[in-house]
Chain A
Amino acid sequence: QVQLVESGGGVVQPGGSLRLSCAASGFTFNTFVLHWVRQAPGKGLEWVAYIKSDGSGAFYTDSVKGRFTISRDNSRNTLYLQMNSLRAEDTALYYCAKVVFQWQDGAFDIWGQGTMVTVSS
């Protein structure tokens, strides 16, 4: 079945780095755009980043621009989020998400279970 499984979260000090991974299965990975969405504890959903199906383009929310980098390895069916210069306000559960159709950019029909990132000294 279609599945996304995130990993790589953890506790990191302010200013530190983490790389999140999202392993995909059950669909033609290289034909879908993908996104990262986060949710701070007890809060709502916040879109973080997007990457085109071939990895040739990406967008970010303003608060992570210049600090986070989204990438993908279509040969490994894996999505990544490199997070540098982490701040306390980046503390959240990070989800990867797949869009409904190959020609569509942003309604998310499949979500992973999330990986928790905690930024604290």
Chain B
Amino acid sequence: EVILTQSPATLSLSPGERATLSCRASQTVVSYLAWYQQKPGQAPRLLIYDASNRATGIPARFSGSGSGTDFTLTISSLEPEDFAVYYCQQRYNWPPITFGQGTRLEIK
């Protein structure tokens, strides 16, 4: 099973700042990594698939990078609506499909 480790667990930033979230895989997932945003009481929302492709309707301030075992989600300038929990997910070596434990992005 591929273990995904996200860091930091919690990130405290202010609107307008740049956010950098990390996801590290226990073995290569090539580029088959996705990122999701989840707000309280809502289903997850796909942001990025295959490491760097923005999903439909996702603002350009969200970008993904990385390959192999190290991946990054960057939010270039935080908007108030971006404060949420973010998950990474791999679909290279499965079953099982696995998710990271999440990074909580909170307002400083």
Contacts and interface: CB of A to CB of B under 8 A. Distances in A.
A55 interface: no
Contacts of A61: 95-96
Main secondary structure of the interface of B (DSSP, over half): loop
Contacts of B102: 44-45
Contact of A107 (B89, B95, B96): B89
Given A44-B102, A45-B87, A111-B44, A100 B97 contact: no
A27 B77 CA distance: 34
B84 interface: no
B44 A108 contact: yes
A73 interface: no
B43 A111 contact: yes
A46 B55 CA distance: 21
Contacts of A46: 99
Closest 9 interchain pairs by CB? A106-B91, A107-B49, A111-B43, A47-B97, A59-B95, A107-B34, A45-B99, A109-B46, A61-B96
21 contacts: A35-B97, A44-B100, A44-B101, A45-B87, A45-B89, A47-B94, A47-B95, A47-B99, A50-B97, A59-B94, A59-B95, A60-B95, A100-B46, A100-B55, A106-B32, A107-B34, A108-B46, A109-B49, A109-B56, A112-B43, A114-B43
Interface of A: 35, 44-47, 50, 59-62, 95, 100, 104-109, 111-114
Given A45-B38, A61-B95, 17 more contacts: A35-B97, A44-B100, A45-B87, A45-B89, A47-B97, A50-B95, A95-B43, A100-B46, A100-B49, A106-B89, A106-B91, A106-B94, A106-B97, A107-B34, A108-B36, A109-B56, A112-B43
Interface of B: 32, 34, 36, 38, 43-46, 49-50, 55-56, 87, 89, 91, 94-102
